[in-house]
Structure 1
Amino acid sequence: MNRATSVGILVLLSGLGIGATYFVQHASEPRISAQQRLIDSRNLLDLLPLGSYDNQPLEQPLALKNIPLPNSTLLGGYLATQAGQSRAVLLRSQSLGYEGSIELLIAIGANGKLLGVKTLKQSETPALGGKIADWPNAWLQVFTGKSRTEPGDMGWALKKDQGQFDQIAGATITSRAVISAVHDALRYFDEHPQQLIGSEVHE
């Protein structure tokens, strides 16, 4: 076997190997994407009560992107529906904590009441502000059932600031950031119901 033949076979085998790798990767992409969507879905949708929606909220993103609010930024959101009726929105919110940005997922029912809050990303001090990443989270659950008007604007603050909420022990700045972001999201929802759920807010 001469050198030219050997090189030709090598090139052919390399091409076949690259082709096979590309084919396997390309064929696997839909399955990998589906698995990632399932993981994202479980991570994002566990704030919504079971049986409260029948659509795929992650496939119904809201027309929100980097909307600046007084104390936070709305990064995006999703709509949950049942039988074609809006049931809840999931808002991704970002605020500034003690160590850096905190990203929250805030679920609000069509009646304007908070369904839950979950931390998606944070870099706060472990065992202090970092506790907001725990799930389930007893401190974050305190906000469930609240609305923009319950408590009133003055109540959306720490008790040390004449508000209604306790803080995470040793994490005043983190606690303030979360409370302000949740209040911002509820206020935005209350002021933009048509944009978010397609109707006015009703108790």
Structure 2
Amino acid sequence: MLNSMKRNGLVLALFGMAATAVVAVTHQLTEERIYDQQQKQLLKTLHQILPADEYDIPLHQSCHLVSNEQYLGTEAPQRAFIALKEGRPVGLALETTAPDGYNGEIHLIVGVNWNEELLGVRTLDHKETPGLGDGIDLRKSDWVQGFVGYRLIDEKDKRISVKKDGGEFDQFTGATITPRAYTKAVRHTLNYIRRFKEEIPSAPSCGEKR
């Protein structure tokens, strides 16, 4: 009986090890696929806000990590993609965060030409309420298209704010917190670019350890 218990225990142990290995391999493969999909989606988004014919070096080759919680909404490093043509910067796409969305952080990316004129804004990730705050998603609404063409006059320029706060952007029906947080994040990002864009090319590359 003792030998039988030992055999059963060994079988269970081997089964547990095999199951653990299968789960680990499945997780790794799934994680890689998710990462690949995220990178493809990011590249598609970058091409939407920085037209590919405007630069001659792939954006991932001019990616830098920058940090500034005051302007970029988080302590975490954000990616800045510099569009280069004939060795000169002609545009910039910068990830940023609205920390004060209705249901938490909203992650977005802001594209500008080197004269700081907005070329496009896209939402990367959010948890806003469906049917209310999800108007920041281009698949749900063209609201984010309204940022194109804006350029801050100065740091106090409030045009990129909701109308309730004296700006030019509509709030959503029944939801003001989300567009307020979003417009503020875009405005702060533009102010960051005004102050620090010349320093971005010397920031650590996305492949470097900080």
**79, 82, 90: which one pairs with 1:79?**
82
**111, 118, 121: which one pairs with 1:117?**
121
User: Equivalent residue for 1:19?
Assistant: none
* Distance in 2 of aligned mates of 1:131 and 1:54: 33
* Distance in 2 of aligned mates of 1:37 and 1:71: 21
- Classify the secondary structure of the residue corresponding to 1:62: strand
- Classify the secondary structure of the residue corresponding to 2:151: coil
Deviation at 1:33, TM superposition (A): 8.1
- Render the CA deviation track for 1:98-121: whole Å, top value 9, x for unaligned: 011100010011011011000000
Deviation at 1:193, TM superposition (A): 2.8
Task: Look up the equivalent residue of 2:132 and give its one-letter code.
Answer: L
Q: Does 1:163 align with 2:181?
A: no
User: Equivalent residue for 2:43?
Assistant: 41
**82, 87, 103: which one pairs with 1:99?**
103
Unaligned runs of 5+ in 1: 1-21, 199-203
- Render the CA deviation track for 1:23-43: whole Å, top value 9, x for unaligned: xx9xxx8xx988874443223
Deviation at 1:168, TM superposition (A): 2.3
User: Equivalent residue for 1:56?
Assistant: 58
Task: Look up the equivalent residue of 1:62 and give its one-letter code.
Answer: H
- Total equivalences in the alignment: 172
* Distance in 1 of aligned mates of 2:144 and 2:37: 28
- Classify the secondary structure of the residue corresponding to 1:93: strand
* Distance in 2 of aligned mates of 1:150 and 1:142: 19
Unaligned runs of 5+ in 2: 1-24, 203-210
Task: Look up the equivalent residue of 1:47 and give its one-letter code.
Answer: I
Identity %: 33
* Distance in 1 of aligned mates of 2:109 and 2:146: 15
Alignment RMSD: 3.1
- Classify the secondary structure of the residue corresponding to 1:111: coil
- Render the CA deviation track for 1:43-97: whole Å, top value 9, x for unaligned: 33321124111111122212313x2125723722111111211111111111120
Change (3 A) 1:123 1:167: same
Q: Does 1:138 align with 2:142?
A: yes
